[in-house]
Structure 1
Amino acid sequence: MSISALIKMHHNQLTRTEQRLADYILAHQQQVIMRNIASLASATQLGEATIVRFCRKIGLAGFAALKRELTAEQLQSLQPLPQSDSPAEQPSLLDVARRLHQLNQASLDETLALQSNATLEQTATLLLGASQINVYGIGMSGISALEAKYRFMRIGMRIDAHTDNHTMLLNSALVGKQDLVIGISHTGETRDLVDAFQNAKQNGASTLAITRYLHSPLTSFADVTLLTGGSQNRYESDASMIKASQTWLIDLLFNMAIFINQGRSIDNLLEVMKRIEKNGPPERPVS
Structure 2
Amino acid sequence: MSEIFKSSVPIIESVYDSLTPSEKDIADFFIKNTDETLDFSSKNIASLIHVSEASLTRFSKKCGFSGYREFIYDYQSKKIPENIQYQSKQMKRVLHDYNKILNKTYSLIEVEQIERFATRLAHAKRVYIYGKGSSGLAATEMKNRFMRLGLPIEAISDDDVMLVNHVLVDKDTVVIGFSISGDKQVVLKAMTQATANKAYTVMFTTQQNNVNEKIVNEVIPVASVKNLSFGNRISPQLPLLIITDIIYDYFMEVDNPKKDTFFKQSLESLNINKEEEESKYE
How many positions carry a matched residue from both structures?
A: 266
2:160 pairs with 1:149: no
How big is the shift at 1:43? 5.0
Contact 1:206–1:223 (CA under 8 A) maintained in structure 2? yes
- Change in Cα spacing, 1:103 to 1:143, as seen in structure 2 (3 Å) is same
* Structure 1 residue 20 corresponds to structure 2 residue 14: no
Q: 1:32 to 1:19 in 2, by over 3 A?
A: farther
State the Cα distance separating 1:156 from its structure 2 match: 1.8
Identical columns (%):
22
Whether 1:50 aligns to 2:55 is yes
SS at match of 1:277: coil
Whole-angstrom CA distance in 2 between matches of 1:127 and 1:41 = 45
**1:38 Cα deviation (Å)?**
5.8
Q: Does 1:62 align with 2:104?
A: no
Query: 1:186 corresponds to which residue?
Result: 180
- CA displacement, residues 102-146 of structure 1 (integer Å, 9 cap, x when unaligned): 321221222122222321232023202211111011111111101
RMSD: 3.0
Instruction: Give matches, 1:60-209, under 5 Å.
Output: 61-62=67-68, 66=72, 72-74=77-79, 76-79=80-83, 94-209=88-203
Q: What SS is found at the alignment partner of 1:248?
A: helix
1:207 to partner: Cα distance: 0.7
TM-score normalised by length of structure 1:
0.79
Q: CA separation in 2, counterparts of 1:224 and 1:121?
A: 14
Q: Is the 8 A contact 1:4 1:26 kept in 2?
A: yes
Helix, strand or coil at the partner of 1:30? coil
**Letter of the structure 2 residue corresponding to residue 78 of structure 1:** E
The CA deviation at 1:248 is 1.1
Change (3 A) 1:196 1:239: farther
Q: Structure 2 unaligned segments of length 5 or more: list them.
A: 1-5, 273-282
Q: CA deviation at 1:258?
A: 1.5
Q: For 2:127 and 2:71, how far apart are their aligned partners in 1?
A: 43
Which residue pairs with 1:214 in the alignment? 208
Specify the structure having the higher radius of gyration (Cα): 1
- Render the CA deviation track for 1:7-33: whole Å, top value 9, x for unaligned: 223334433321232123323443993
User: What letter corresponds to residue 2 of structure 1 in structure 2?
Assistant: S
Gaps of 5+ in 1: 83-91, 279-287
Equivalence for 1:33? 38
Q: Secondary structure at the match of 1:225?
A: strand
Structure 2 length-normalised TM: 0.80
CA 1:254–1:197: 2 relative to 1, 3 Å: same
